[in-house]
Amino acid sequence: MSSGNWTKLKFLESITNLKAVIGQSAGRAPSTEIARDIGACLQQGRLFFEIASSAPLQVRPLQLYYGIVGFAKAIVLARKVQSIATIAQSHGLSDVSQQRTKIEELALQFQQRGVFQQFNDVVAPLGRLSFYSGYMRQFEQKPFHDAAGLNGVTCSLKDILARIPGLQKLYRRTFSEDGACWSVSFHHTGDRVELRIDDPHLFADRDDLQSRVEKWRLDFPWLNDWCFTEGVHAWDNSVLLFFNKLKPSAGEFSDQVLKPTDIGFASEKTNESFIPFAAILPALAGGLTNDHPTAIKPLNGVALSEFSLQFCGTFLLSSLVRYRPQIWQHALSHSIAQDMPVDDRALSLIELFLQTVLETFPKLVEYCIDPAGTD
């Protein structure tokens, strides 16, 4: 969605349109009063996002967070067909950052109840795998987790940014380490599903290839349920292929199974039975808005959607703008002050994060309220 195209959201701000759309998706139309509540929240969210799209970086996080809260309320009310009186009066998150901390070390703590929990627990069951089989897009339901497992858990802004799809390359350049998410690709041929990972590390030999696969399985344990079949050098990466089938008894990397080729190693394709692929996949980012599928590491064992993570990230940055403006301004000035070392290394990453929120969160709103109009 272009950050300047708000036509679909404006359509949904109409009470008449909302009643018809929600009646179709939820099976019962909201009352005029509830539709008015939803429309007001939608309009508030849109206006904050419109302002944020042209606002200076000094205040943009605050406007985006207020916009997300408005949108989150609209989603909860529309999906549950409830009045605004049922919305919690707290964020559900608290800023527990040290007073003179670095921006990347800003920290939040999850509370038991609040707008975040209501939003997450409405969006999480909608999680799905989006893929093409033949020429048609298909879906498999794959829900994320509810927020109960996060009560009392603390995480940093860096933890959140590491899990935002689209930030992987810049995250690595910023912190000299891999993030906690990675894009994957799928190719379906009937029951046979190929899963592909493009690894920037070019393996040197069989042992190095095996160590890279083990590294990916350590990062994403669900890959242990997939059979590794091929590793080749292509498009400046190591292309790693897995299939939804049982592993050979001799071992995936044994000489008799994995044979050398001109560009790497590959095992022979056999007519084995295949495991239902959705049963051996976690919830992936991208499914709700038909974007590229991305695996995200759980946070304290809880699988959160990319949009719940966006909620958390904008909360922390808005708190920074509101309550620690001197720290934010110090970072934006790229300066060094007495007892305040330079704190600007994450600025470009934060700016990309805010742009990602601006462009993708409204797509979630459209899908949650009017799924028939987006698929």
Q: 33 and 81: one domain?
A: yes
Q: 11 and 119: one domain?
A: yes
- Would the CA dihedral through 63, 64, 67, 72 be positive or negative? negative
Q: 276 and 327: one domain?
A: no
User: How many Å apart are CA 131 and CA 138, to the nearest integer?
Assistant: 5
Residue 226 burial class via C-beta count within 10 angstroms: exposed 0-12, middle 13-18, buried 19 and up: buried
Domain count, the chain: 2
Q: 206 and 113: one domain?
A: no
Asked if residue 135 belongs to a domain, the reply is no
Asked if residues 342 and 334 have their Cβ atoms less than 8 Å apart, the reply is: yes
Q: 271 and 314: one domain?
A: no
pLDDT at 230: 97
The dihedral over CA atoms of 44, 48, 53, 59, expressed in degrees to the nearest 10, equals -170
Asked if residue 103 belongs to a domain, the reply is yes
> Nearest 5 degrees, angle CA 69-CA 108-CA 283?
70
DSSP 165: T
Asked if residue 158 belongs to a domain, the reply is no
Per-residue pLDDT of the chain (375 residues; tens, 9 = 90+): 444 579 999 999 999 999 999 999 888 999 999 999 999 999 999 999 999 999 999 999 999 999 999 999 999 999 999 999 999 999 999 999 988 889 999 999 999 999 999 999 999 999 999 888 777 888 999 999 999 999 999 999 999 999 999 999 999 999 999 999 999 999 988 889 999 999 999 999 999 999 999 999 999 999 999 999 999 999 999 999 999 999 998 999 999 999 999 999 999 877 678 999 999 999 999 999 989 999 999 999 999 999 999 999 999 999 999 999 988 988 898 877 666 778 899 999 999 999 999 999 999 999 999 988 775
- Amino acid residing at 235: W
Asked if residue 171 belongs to a domain, the reply is no
Q: 274 and 351: one domain?
A: no
Asked if residue 160 belongs to a domain, the reply is no
Q: 227 and 271: one domain?
A: yes
At 89-110, the pLDDT tens digits run 999 999 999 888 899 999 999 9
Q: 253 and 359: one domain?
A: no
Cα 273 to Cα 12, 133, 240: the distances in Å are 46, 18, 21
Asked if residues 222 and 175 have their Cβ atoms less than 8 Å apart, the reply is: no
pLDDT at 271: 65
Which residue range forms the structural domain that includes residue 220? 185-280
Asked if residue 327 belongs to a domain, the reply is yes
pLDDT at 93: 98
pLDDT at 354: 98
Residue 247's nearest CA partner among 220, 221, 275, 219 is 275
pLDDT at 135: 76
Q: 194 and 268: one domain?
A: yes
pLDDT at 54: 95
Residue 93's nearest CA partner among 319, 275, 253 is 319
Q: 310 and 270: one domain?
A: no
Q: Which of 245, 280, 315 is the last residue of a domain?
A: 280
Q: 206 and 261: one domain?
A: yes
Supply 76's token pair. Answer: 């909860």
Asked if residue 11 belongs to a domain, the reply is yes
Asked if residues 37 and 43 have their Cβ atoms less than 8 Å apart, the reply is: no
Asked if residue 116 belongs to a domain, the reply is yes
Q: 275 and 332: one domain?
A: no
